Amino acid sequence: MEISGVISAVVIGIVIGALGRLVLPGRQRIGLLWTIAVGILAAFAGTGIAAAFGVADTKGIDWIEWLVQIALAAAGVTALERFKTRR
């Protein structure tokens, strides 16, 4: 993976992580770096899931792929927050 691909993954991860936090009610007690990490993982996993269903590359904006990524980010933020509060 080239440096531009890594930078793109980080930027998309920031956006996906932030959107994942926004759809959750209340305050999340995880930091910015955790949000970015969850967002990056959700972006990669969401792209894989969308590709498996054949909706990753469509004409225009890939709304279904974005929704899958945001849902995964929200689930990841929730899971991480529950894990951290249990400790």
Q: How do the domains of the chain map onto residue ranges?
A: 3-86
Decide if 43 contacts 78 (C-beta within 8 A). no
What pLDDT is attached to residue 5? Answer: 67
Q: Supply the pLDDT for residue 52.
A: 92
Rounded to 5 degrees, what angle do the CA atoms 18, 20, 23 make?
A: 110
DSSP secondary structure letters along 7-41: HHHHHHHHHHHHHHHHTS-S-----HHHHHHHHHH
Question: Could you give the CA distance from residue 75 to residue 17 in angstroms, rounded to a whole number?
Answer: 10
pLDDT of residue 1: 52
pLDDT score of 87: 67
For position 43, what pLDDT does the model report?
85
Contact assessment for residue 79 and residue 28, using Cβ atoms and an 8 Å cutoff:
no
Q: Please state the pTM of the whole predicted model.
A: 0.81
List the pLDDT tens digit at each of the 87 positions of the chain.
567 667 777 788 888 888 888 888 878 788 888 888 888 898 888 888 988 998 877 787 778 888 888 899 889 988 888 888 776
- For residues 54 and 24, is the Cβ–Cβ distance under 8 A? no
